[in-house]
Amino acid sequence: MIVMSSTPTAPHAAILGIGSYRASIEVPNAEIVDAIDSSDEWIQQRSGIRARRFASPEETIQVMSVGAARKALEHAGVEAVDIDCVIVATVSHLMQTPAIATAIAHELGTDKAPAFDISAACAGFCHGIALASDLVRGGTAGKVLVIGVERLSDITDLTDRGTAFIFADGAGAAVVGASDRPGISPVVWGSDGEQFDLIRQREDWRDVVGSDEHPGSGVMPHLTMQGNPVFRWASFTMAKVANEALAKAGITADDLDVFVPHQANMRIIDAMARSMKLPEHVRIARDIAEQGNTSAASIPLALDAMIASGEARSGDLALLIAFGAGLAYAAQVVVVP
């Protein structure tokens, strides 16, 4: 029997570098409350958000991604030409095809690296890290660039009371490569399509365009969300997923240094931490207060901020958990680069 040759594999994978791009326009609650008959106090109490950041017209998905990726490459000490695969997690690249990842890979100068987008909403970055880890360990790629990026301001209805104060823009990136010790634990991930409708685009493109019998709305199909069930699901079900991720990594909450949950809502972050009984010494990401919910970008933005402030140090163990539309979720423990 002829035996095909196989790719040499790597024993372990790790995040080698992180970078982020914060959108330039700070939008405090005061600037959005009139359109939704709300108040700064209500928004802070219910979500913990004091301000969010929106991209300027020039800060496209590509511009923010390249900005975050260049910083991640520099942090990792890796040249763009050495990247073997580019994965971009986003739900707000407004062109159905091609994937924005190919344009980003080209601008970075990755020398024709395979590049594709993934759509797992707020869980996208952790999905990307899981894929990158397996690509590296399986020998398919030496180094993978994972980007989480959103311009949710393009698809948020600023007159919708349930979503206008939550969503925001930004990008974060990580370089994943081989390591001599485990740097990314096995992922715990899943989906609950029974709750497909809880967070979604209001209508599909055919409804926007319409037909002779049914005239289209002609307006951008914004995000809609049923806040209450999302809140309950995220606060309780996700704490269990987080504990499973710790177990799969072979550690307990006592071993953790940093907790970086998806920056959806401060009350969800607090409820998860309580439910997991996180010890006092675990430092918790609270980037949402000044950044808003940036979906796929929220975890790398938050982790990068903690590294910059010294709250997360190289070698720390960090639990990442991301969840959102789908509903989709993913969690893993990583060693901070």
Instruction: Return the range that interacts with ligand COA (CB under 6 A); candidates 38-46, 103-111, 132-140, 172-180.
Output: 38-46
Please pick, from the candidates 12, 26, 38, 158, the single residue that binds ligand COA as defined by CB under 6 A.
38
| Least separation in angstroms between CB 39 and ligand COA | 7
Closer to ligand COA by Cβ: residue 153 or 293: 293
178 forms beta bridges with: 13
Alpha helices in the chain (DSSP H): 40-47, 61-76, 100-108, 124-137, 205-209, 227-232, 238-249, 266-275, 288-291, 298-309
Give yes or no: 93 in active site. no
User: Phi, psi (5° rounding) for residue 49?
Assistant: -85, 125
Query: Which residue matches tokens 């991930």?
Result: 189
Closer to ligand COA by Cβ: residue 88 or 230: 230
Residue 42 in the binding site for ligand COA (CB under 6 A)? yes
Closer to ligand COA by Cβ: residue 41 or 204: 41
Distance CA 332, CA 187 (A): 5
Q: Shortest Cβ contact with ligand COA: which residue?
A: 227
Give yes or no: 85 in active site. no
Give yes or no: 75 in active site. no
CA angle 114, 129, 9 (to 5 degrees): 70
Residue 231 in the binding site for ligand COA (CB under 6 A)? yes
Amino acid, res. 282: V
Cα–Cα distances (Å) from 65 to 150, 170, 316, in that order, read 9, 8, 26
Q: Which residues are catalytic?
A: 122, 262, 293
Q: Which residues bind ligand COA (CB under 6 A)?
A: 36, 38, 42, 46-47, 122, 161-162, 165-166, 225, 227-228, 230-231, 234, 264-265, 268, 293, 324
